[in-house]
Amino acid sequence: MTITIKSPPWRVGVDVGGTFTDLVVADSDGRTEVYKVPSVPADPGEGVIDALLTACASLNQPIEKFLGNCQFFLHGSTVATNTLLEGKGAVVGLLTTTGFRDSLEARRGLRKDPWDHRTPYPPVLIPRYLRLPVGGRIDAKGNEIEPVNLDDVRIACATFRDEGVESIAVSLLNSFVNTSHEDAVAKLVRDENVCEWVSVSSDIVPIMGEYERTSTTAVNAYVMPRVATYLTALQQKLIDMGLKTKLLMLQSNGGAASLDQLIRQPVNLLLSGPSAGVGAMQHLATGIGENNLVSMEIGGTSCDVMLMHEGRVAITDALSVNDYDLVTPSVDIHTVGAGGGTISGIDGAGLMYAGPEGAGANPGPAAYGLGGTRPTVTDAHLVLGRMRPGPYAGGSVSLDMSLAEKALDTEIANPAGISRTDAAAGLIRIVEQNLLHAVERISIQRGYNPGRFILIACGGAGPMHGASVGRKLGARAVYIPRQAGAFCAIGMQHADVRRDFVQVVMRELNADTANVISEGYTHLAKQALEALQNEGFSEENTEFGYELDLHYEGQQWDVRVALDPDAMPDEIRTAFEIEYDRQFGHINPESRINIAKLRVVGIGKLPPLEDPKFDAVKVEVSPIERRPVYAESARDFLDTPIYRGADLSHGQGFVGPAIIEEATTTILVGPGDRVTVDALNNYMVTFVTED
């Protein structure tokens, strides 16, 4: 491989995925290099170190020197998510208002698929015998109806000690309007010193709704000891090896924050990794001058879809991880079970299906030869000539054509009475329909027309489907980053530090509330500035976003608008009605509007990475080989040129059919699709003929 990056200071992004750990190094000119090593699930930090050693070997540098020259070290880690998914969190005790200790387990009756009533809920994170009552009551307006009973707290702490509780959560009724009872309980719990870790609901997520607030606080308490211990140890190890900067963790909101700031709020890390796609989209939006983008990131098991409208990726509060319901600022990602390992077959009544079940990394697709016998997307691509047999994924597995053929014959072609080729092509069509529906869902459901967007195809498996899905979607173009297989690690290079602050308000929006808004904003902005100063930012490197969550009186769902902090109530009303109309197709001019929440988003700007400049090349490029590849539109194999990505430079392009083999992905260009390499050195596909 030709090393293109040159001089420090380096900026490093590491994304630990289920299969691979991706490390991206950017140099002072903004040029990037990707390193992929297998993940080490038992000790993800080992994968991080492996990736670093691989990068250093390639750069021919001792690790101390390399780390010493790192200006920023950004990390996306699944440690919080895995702790939750694997049920390996702490023994947690919960203190809650007397009479209300079961909201965590009753879950408001929320279930994803009502028809599937046989599936139990995942285990409750805090057993009822460790959910203990504290007397005292705050009413809905914040008045104290009954003083808090601290003796109850002492009694509970004795139980917690006896039960070996490692982490304590506090969530009392109506604490979002008055924190005094929680404050008093939290202080006493800390004084009682049962354990090091205390999570208080009004600190973690001061929102209305005891179920979601308690659940979020419980998850935080549950994952905190393990996450804090693991990440602190990793940071120390890197410092011992020469790192001179703090570890910046990617949060679910797509922004970064230093480990020290996050250590008591690990619930913000549940989307750490996938959320970094936001940084990549923002960077691409600037680079290509388009701010309506939909990304489709496809890996081995699933596809994450994200939408950017006019330069903004929606941040939602609601996040569900394995049916644990959370409220934490999160990038709005819609995930479907469609990836390289998605399994296909014929059901008992003769209908063909593809997904949502996947073959995972092991056994993986049948062609891996690791024992899988059911055909997957990867097997179909192999049979259709789109992938080549032999070493794959950096040589970690080898693709065996005969096993793919056998799986397709046995599971689809023979029972359905169709040819192997039709089986493989059909499999891909069904998966691509699923991808198309996923993109339509995230756009139409939110009130956007997908035809106005550029589709970004990324993830290792995305560029194989991007052009085809984009054409069916009616997208204006499909954009394929050259390093599509490390989209999130690349995205980390472009992340800023971001901290979200929220305050519940519950006041009618009218001329009298202007001062309520301004006081609330001042308070939140002060918190945000402090947080950013603690991250080492001076005021001139910060930006603040001001948002209001509003609803019509009597409605229970909020519409969020972003405005200048000094916008007057009538301007706020207008902005709300424009957004409400866009989402719901009508407005209620007579209705009163309530302010539910104020939000301040604090951004600490990291120095932007320069975009490297690539000179345009005029020469024709030659394929490295030609082979028959199945084309859907021709319903046949076409003689197709195969290009090596490294041979393609800015300014070059051609009309498909073609295949481009990149280091981290393979790009399928259909007949009539025009592909060009743009000034960012990435691929843009446009459609020259109608489908």
Partner 1 sequence: MDSKKVADKLDPVILALTQNRLDHISHQMGWVMVRTARSPIFSQAHDFSCFIAGPTGEVVSQADGIPIHTGSGGFGVRAILRDFGSELAEGDVYLLNDPWEAGGNHLPDWVIARPVFVDGQMVGLTCNRAHQSDIGGGAAGAYNPTATDAWSEGVRLPVIKLVEAGKTREDLWKLLMLNTRTPHLQDGDLRAMLGSTRIGMERVAALVEELGIDNAMDYFTGVLDHADRSVRAEISKLPDGVYEAEDRSDNDCFEIRDVTVRVRLTIENENMTVDFTGTDDQILGFKNSSLGNTYSAIYTALASFLDPNLPHNEGAFRCVDVIAPEGTIVNANEGAPTTMCTVFFAHEIIHAVWKALAQADPDRGCAGWAKNVFGISVGKEDSGHPYVFYHGAAAAGSGAVDGRDGFNQIGHVCTLGGLTMPNVEVYEQLYPVMFHRQEFRIDAAGPGKYRGGSGCDYEVDILTPATHSFRGEGLNYETGYGINGGKNGASGRMHLRHSDGEIEEAPKFGLRRTDTVRFVTQSPGGGGYGPPLERDPELVLRDWRDGIISDVTMRDIYGVVASADGKSVDSGATNALRGSM
210 contributes a contact to partner 1 by CB under 8 A: yes
What span, in angstroms and rounded, lies between the C-alpha atoms of 391 and 265?
42
The residue (of 347 and 639) whose beta carbon lies closer to partner 1 is 347
What span, in angstroms and rounded, lies between the C-alpha atoms of 56 and 489?
17
In the complex, what is the shortest distance from the CB of residue 411 to partner 1, in angstroms, rounded to a whole number?
A: 12
In the complex, what is the shortest distance from the CB of residue 350 to partner 1, in angstroms, rounded to a whole number?
A: 6
In the complex, what is the shortest distance from the CB of residue 328 to partner 1, in angstroms, rounded to a whole number?
A: 17
The residue (of 526 and 635) whose beta carbon lies closer to partner 1 is 635
Contacts of 410 (CB under 8 A, 6+ apart): 373
* H/E run at residue 629: strand 625-631
- Angle between helix axes 150-162 and 180-192 (nearest 10 degrees) is 40
Please give the backbone phi and psi of residue 226, each rounded to the nearest 5 degrees, phi first: -70, -45
Do strands 658-661 and 636-644 pair parallel, antiparallel, or not at all (unpaired)? parallel
| Closest of 515, 587, 495 to residue 550, by C-alpha | 587
The residue (of 42 and 145) whose beta carbon lies closer to partner 1 is 145
What span, in angstroms and rounded, lies between the C-alpha atoms of 268 and 322?
16
In the complex, what is the shortest distance from the CB of residue 344 to partner 1, in angstroms, rounded to a whole number?
A: 10
In the complex, what is the shortest distance from the CB of residue 131 to partner 1, in angstroms, rounded to a whole number?
A: 9
Do strands 342-346 and 334-336 pair parallel, antiparallel, or not at all (unpaired)? unpaired
472 contributes a contact to partner 1 by CB under 8 A: no
- Say how many Å lie between the first and final Cα of the chain, rounded: 38
Number of residues that make up the chain: 691
* Only segment of 85-93, 113-121, 308-316, 653-661 that touches partner 1 (CB under 8 A): 113-121
Residue 199's DSSP bridge partners are: 169
In the complex, what is the shortest distance from the CB of residue 91 to partner 1, in angstroms, rounded to a whole number?
A: 12
What span, in angstroms and rounded, lies between the C-alpha atoms of 494 and 32?
12
113 contributes a contact to partner 1 by CB under 8 A: yes
**Binding partner 1 by CB under 8 A: which of 251, 434, 468, 681?**
434
* Only segment of 37-45, 269-277, 487-495, 555-563 that touches partner 1 (CB under 8 A): 555-563
Q: How far is CA 605 from CA 385, 538, 540, 649, 680, in A?
A: 46, 10, 9, 31, 22
690 contributes a contact to partner 1 by CB under 8 A: no
What span, in angstroms and rounded, lies between the C-alpha atoms of 588 and 591?
5
The residue (of 388 and 441) whose beta carbon lies closer to partner 1 is 441
**3-class DSSP assignment, residue 209:** coil
What span, in angstroms and rounded, lies between the C-alpha atoms of 472 and 545?
37
* Only segment of 8-16, 202-210, 333-341, 607-615 that touches partner 1 (CB under 8 A): 202-210
- From residue 163 to residue 192, the character string flagging contacts with partner 1 as x (rule: CB under 8 A) and all else as - is ----------xx-x----------------
In the complex, what is the shortest distance from the CB of residue 619 to partner 1, in angstroms, rounded to a whole number?
A: 42
Interior angle at CA 672, CA 670 and CA 674, nearest 5? 85
* Only segment of 383-391, 456-464, 548-556, 560-568 that touches partner 1 (CB under 8 A): 548-556
* Only segment of 52-60, 197-205, 399-407, 417-425 that touches partner 1 (CB under 8 A): 417-425
Residue 480's DSSP bridge partners are: 683
Is the bond leading into 363 cis (omega within 30 degrees of zero)?
yes
637 contributes a contact to partner 1 by CB under 8 A: no
In the complex, what is the shortest distance from the CB of residue 253 to partner 1, in angstroms, rounded to a whole number?
A: 24
289 contributes a contact to partner 1 by CB under 8 A: no
In the complex, what is the shortest distance from the CB of residue 436 to partner 1, in angstroms, rounded to a whole number?
A: 9
Residues 573-602 binding partner 1 (CB under 8 A) are: 583-586, 588
**3-class DSSP assignment, residue 482:** coil
Q: Which amino acid is at 403?
A: L
What span, in angstroms and rounded, lies between the C-alpha atoms of 667 and 661?
6
106 contributes a contact to partner 1 by CB under 8 A: yes
352 contributes a contact to partner 1 by CB under 8 A: yes
- Angle between helix axes 466-473 and 420-444 (nearest 10 degrees) is 60
* H/E run at residue 388: none
In the complex, what is the shortest distance from the CB of residue 126 to partner 1, in angstroms, rounded to a whole number?
A: 11
**Binding partner 1 by CB under 8 A: which of 30, 127, 142, 287?**
127
* H/E run at residue 625: strand 625-631
In the complex, what is the shortest distance from the CB of residue 569 to partner 1, in angstroms, rounded to a whole number?
A: 21
**Binding partner 1 by CB under 8 A: which of 36, 75, 101, 599?**
101
In the complex, what is the shortest distance from the CB of residue 469 to partner 1, in angstroms, rounded to a whole number?
A: 14
What span, in angstroms and rounded, lies between the C-alpha atoms of 257 and 365?
38
**Binding partner 1 by CB under 8 A: which of 2, 42, 115, 690?**
115
**Binding partner 1 by CB under 8 A: which of 554, 615, 618, 619?**
554
| Contact residues for partner 1, defined by CB under 8 A | 99-103, 105-106, 108-111, 113-121, 127-129, 139-140, 145, 173-174, 176, 208-212, 346-354, 416, 418, 422, 425-426, 429-430, 433-434, 437, 440-441, 444-445, 447, 506, 554-557, 583-586, 588
